[in-house]
Chains A and B, each alone.
Chain A
Amino acid sequence: MSTVAPLTDAAPAARAPLTKKALTADHPTWCPGCGDFAVLASFYRVLEKLNLPHENIVTMAGIGCSSRFPYFVNTHGGHFIHGRSLPFSAGISLGRDDLHVFVFGGDGDGFSIGGNHLDHVARKNVNLTYVIMDNSVYGLTKKQTSPTSPLGFKTKTDPTGAIDQPVNPMRKLLDSGATFVARSHATQVNHMIEMMTRAAKHEGFSVVEILSECVEFFPGAFDAGNPRKGGAFQLIEEKKHDGSPEDAARHDPTDELAAFRLAAQPWPGPFGVFYEVKRPTKNQLEAELIAKAKERTKHASDLAMLQATFARVR
């Protein structure tokens, strides 16, 4: 989006490729065995692959175990308040078209305290990538029920087992108006890298939900999706549009109803890209409004426009 003035020179010559070493910051404070380590390692790989200008990457987060993420990534970044990292990050994206904005958070941040923000930033289709590390429990505050805790799960706030119907994350994300919705599992590194890379390249609001086990407070939560623990990692096969008979059975990610049907499958459900469509981003739409306004004012200088405004109220 061409908002104010172009800020950075387009492509600095002969830039050294981004390496994991350059991207590593503080040592993570997560518990040993936490699923979030694998997400972090995958994110380094995604950034290495994308090889964006280092200073133009922004890593943001809200509050929670997973939201410690920005401290462990050496990029510009921020640790905002609980649940509101999306509107904050949307401000970054809309204010600066030259930046690449990644937002990390957990199920509490995304589906509970920040649920409303998720809906609205998604429907506005602000250009950024949001990764939800879902562990189905409040870990930082030491085991309370989360919005994705399954019925019957015993926590300190539900000692006899959770009684409130949990959020279906994929259905909620599809309903939000996000234009790229994918799901992955923290034990499947290559799949995570693929999903996050595709999300990062998607123009618009892209979101990847990653099941990331809390070994401390909800061990085994996602074993059903982990083949090494006897579960099934069922991949979504996307349509190849090759006219083959088997293609008819494959998933069309532009088919919203089909995506909702996938989201309705019983636990642990499928993994992969549920939904992917092109819709004008808010960044583009705002840029168009600016272009039209500038045309109307014949690209007058800021000073000339303000002087004209005051002249009208003399």
Chain B
Amino acid sequence: MSQEIEDQNRRLLRARDAMDRAYAEPLDVQAVAAIAMASPAHFSRIFRATFGETPHHYLQRRRVERAMFLLRETDRSITDICFDVGFTSLGTFSRTFSAIVGETPSGYRAGHPPIEAPHCFQMAQTRPRLPAGVHPRSSRFGEARDESAA
């Protein structure tokens, strides 16, 4: 049983790594599930059981973290950053960013100078967390709507 869990964990980690690596590409749950060799519904379930949030949440937070990074560290326009990190609509980007971060992309940029820390630590440690008290199953970011539309 342990061996099965370990093999499944490793496949799920490979899929999660793909989200961290290829967030800018048009990834969706189906494509990522294929990396883990699971059906999308089963993948979402076991991913959440293993990592504590759905793959959709994970990818959204990775994209928002990358957007936060580019807002801090570069002078690229917000529209460019939106597409840089894998969003296809400025409206969805702004809404998702604001819901997760608690301020708009331009507000965040104004209040946050660059961080002098190695990139990998920034990427690992500044991916936005779940707000306190929010169950990872809840979807208050409009993500369920996005997911059902996808």
Mutual binders A and B:
no
Interface residues of A (CB under 8 A from B): none
